[in-house]
Structure 1
Amino acid sequence: MSDIYQLSYSKMIIEHATAKCKQNGGQLTHKRKQILLCLVGSEKALSAYEIVDLYKEKYQESMSAMSVYRILEFLQEQGLVHRLQIANKYICCMHITCSHNHEASQFLICSNCFKVKEVSISAALIDELKNNVAAAGFVFASEQLEVNCLCEECQSL
């Protein structure tokens, strides 16, 4: 991705994220924007500690892991990032610039390099999964589905 395109894309993300936070009664502060941009620029899911390191590298400034966790929690509440339970890592929502609702998200997570692809799945499939889960005597703790996979690059290794 070219630097000009990345800059334009980042600006668009921040504009949408700021508006979404304002609509929800929140505020996208400077530090929150910077953490969000760390995730936007990453090609893989990042742990809070990886974000701490990336933040320091990108902005030449330190931030504690606890502060990053608080910011990530806020960004998650705003629907701007997702926490991947399997990997305990975070990614930027692929629908961050959309103003309409989407179907349930499924996250395909490479168990080797932690590259993540967010795909939408239909409500009918979620309903079928809920029925199967209920028939087994369970209930979903979350409708966020995460699947351990291998990406194309790691398959060829």
Structure 2
Amino acid sequence: MTGSQDIARVLDQAHSICAEQGARLTEKRKRVLQVVLESPEPLSAYQIADQYRDNHGQTLSVMSVYRMLNFLKENELVHRLETTNQYLPCSHITCKHDHEVPQFLICDECHGVNEVGIRKEILQELSANIEDTGFTLARQQIEFHGICNTCRKADA
């Protein structure tokens, strides 16, 4: 995310989203979200705690950061990358339309992440195929690791 005006707009929208859902975006939660928004790459809870301390001169325990991240995740403001245990902002906070199920393309060189939608029909078919084996899915998040176009071109 770039620009303080863009971040302020996203934080205002995040506040509205929480209010619509009967949740409260406290100042500390808002600041944690801001740390995630300002980062060019996904962050761990430890990195967020360090950045929070550097930005705001206050210490947050990592457990507090995890609780705040869970709140932000439940309100669809951040995503957790399962394979790396890192967090990134939802790219659709300011959108007003329905979105496809988010999936993530993770570059193993620059650590950039691209959030892409997967059509619900494809995910439903995949889920049905999985359930046919007797396996029960706990989550429907797909993460693909590879090399992004920018890094691939730089390596060429």
Which range moves more in the overlay, 17-26 or 52-61? 52-61
Instruction: Name which of 110, 116, 129 aligns with 2:126.
Output: 129
Instruction: Name which of 133, 136, 144 aligns with 1:147.
Output: 144
Aligned residues: 154
Tell me by how many angstroms 1:138 deviates: 2.1
Instruction: Name which of 48, 55, 59 aligns with 1:58.
Output: 55
Match of 1:27 in 2: 24
Match of 1:15 in 2: 12
Q: Flag structure 1 segments of 5+ consecutive residues without an equivalent.
A: none
User: 1:106 aligns to what SS in structure 2?
Assistant: strand
Q: What CA deviation, in whole Å up to 9, does each residue of 1:45-100 have, x standing for no partner?
A: 11000111111222233221111111101111111111111111111001111233
Q: How far apart in 1 are the matches of 2:110 and 2:51?
A: 17
Q: How far apart in 2 are the matches of 1:112 and 1:60?
A: 32
RMSD: 1.8
Q: How far apart in 1 are the matches of 2:51 and 2:148?
A: 23
Within the alignment, does 1:76 sit opposite 2:73 as a pair? Answer: yes
Q: How far apart in 2 are the matches of 1:45 and 1:7?
A: 19
Tell me by how many angstroms 1:153 deviates: 4.3
Tell me by how many angstroms 1:41 deviates: 1.1
Q: After TM superposition, what 4+ stretches of structure 1 lie above 6 angstroms from structure 2? A: none
Instruction: Name which of 78, 82, 100 aligns with 1:103.
Output: 100
Match of 1:90 in 2: 87
Q: How far apart in 2 are the matches of 1:44 and 1:28?
A: 23
Identity of aligned residues (%): 41
Q: How far apart in 1 are the matches of 2:10 and 2:115?
A: 17
Q: Flag structure 2 segments of 5+ consecutive residues without an equivalent.
A: none
Q: What CA deviation, in whole Å up to 9, does each residue of 1:98-152 have, x standing for no partner?
A: 2332111111112344321100111121122113323433232212211122223
Q: How far apart in 2 are the matches of 1:148 and 1:26?
A: 34
Match of 1:41 in 2: 38
TM-score by length of 1: 0.88
Match of 2:112 in 1: 115
Q: How far apart in 2 are the matches of 1:50 and 1:114?
A: 15
